[in-house]
Homo-oligomer: A and B are copies of this chain.
Amino acid sequence: MLMGIRLKIPRNHCRGESLRIRERLIRGEEAGVVAKAGLIAHGRGEAFDYLIGEASIPPAIFAARAAAASILLASRPVISVNGNVAALAPEALVRLSKATGAPLEVNLFYRTRRRERAVRSALLKAGAKEVLGVGERASATIPELFSDRRKVDPRGIYSADVVIVPLEDGDRAMALRKMGKFVIAVDLNPLSRTSQVADITIVDNVLRALPNIASAVEELRQLQKAELKGILERFDNRKNLSETLLFIRERLASIAKED
């Protein structure tokens, strides 16, 4: 029976923060950091962020903790940076890099010298000491990738064991997996290919997820290796993604409430 259904829309939902972030991204596009396709990708993220309630939901916090454990266990963790995340969260990237010792590496789908430099300067402005993957340094190649994302730094992603990929495309996440890398993805769409192929998927806004990982790294730093491995073993990415979908379902249910 669908009679008597009423919609319960949150009336005082504040769009201000979302509008400010949108403005930041448009300025990033004008500065050459963000690609036009990056603006469309951001819109997809906004919609999914809305569906999870624009907050870090329990599965995202759980995944960020598992990500922190895997980074602490890694020999060579690296953070891959694209235009959108550089425009949205440069400070959070630098904080995570400092907390983990993982270097920042520029990796762009639409790679031009101008964009490389624009992304690097956004990171340097936010306090980064070094940025990998710029110019001649991106001399190694990831097999099976046809976009410019295949170009990686031999000292960075190429030799990394754990790669943190905020806002990644599915092809590249898959290529990194095939190279034997352990992939930590941040992606607001729990159904995307990136989300499906990553070892750990954090379904959250990068502006919340990156600080969550950094805080978890600081908290877990004193643990023994065996304890960190225990945290990782208890994490099941498929199960965690299912819990995310169920969370969204329940949220829609509370909006479209039957009475």
Separation of A246 and B249 alpha carbons in the complex (Å): 9
Which stretch (A87-95, A217-225, A251-259) binds chain B?
A: A251-259
**By the criterion CB–CB under 8 Å, are B36 and A242 in contact?**
no
**By the criterion CB–CB under 8 Å, are A5 and B238 in contact?**
yes
Given A7-B196, A239-B5, decide whether A256 and B249 contact each other with a Cβ distance below 8 A: yes
Q: Which B residues lie within 8 Å of A43 (CB)? A: 39-47
Which stretch (A22-30, A114-122, A151-159, A173-181) binds chain B?
A: A22-30
**By the criterion CB–CB under 8 Å, are A246 and B46 in contact?**
no
- A14 CB within 8 Å of chain B: no
Q: Nearest B residue to A22 by beta-carbon distance?
A: B40
Q: So how many copies of this chain end up in the complex?
A: 2
Q: Nearest B residue to A196 by beta-carbon distance?
A: B9
Interface majority SS (helix, strand, loop, mixed), chain A: helix
Q: Which B residues lie within 8 Å of A246 (CB)? A: 2, 5, 252, 256
The listed residue (B25, B26, B40, B243) touching A46 by CB distance below 8 A is B40
- A129 CB within 8 Å of chain B: no
Q: Nearest B residue to A41 by beta-carbon distance?
A: B43
Separation of A22 and B253 alpha carbons in the complex (Å): 31
CB of A70 to closest CB in B, whole Å: 21
Which of A2, A43, A189: most chain B CB closer than 10 A? A43
Q: Nearest B residue to A250 by beta-carbon distance?
A: B249
Q: Nearest B residue to A256 by beta-carbon distance?
A: B245
The listed residue (B2, B22, B196, B245) touching A243 by CB distance below 8 A is B2
**By the criterion CB–CB under 8 Å, are B36 and A2 in contact?**
no
Q: What 0/1 pattern do residues 172 to 216 of A give for CB contact below 8 A with B? A: 000000000000000001010000100000000000000000000
Additional pairs, 6, CB under 8 Å, beyond known A2-B243, A7-B245: A5-B238, A26-B36, A40-B40, A40-B42, A43-B43, A44-B47
Interface, chain A (partner B; CB < 8 A): 2-3, 5-7, 9, 22, 25-26, 29, 36-37, 39-48, 50, 189, 191, 196, 238-239, 241-243, 245-246, 248-249, 252-253, 255-256
User: What are the 6 A-B residue pairs with the smallest beta carbon separation, nearest first?
Assistant: A43-B43, A47-B47, A245-B256, A39-B39, A5-B242, A40-B43
Give 7 A-B contacts (CB < 8 Å), ordered by A residue. A3-B239, A26-B36, A39-B39, A43-B47, A46-B47, A47-B48, A241-B256
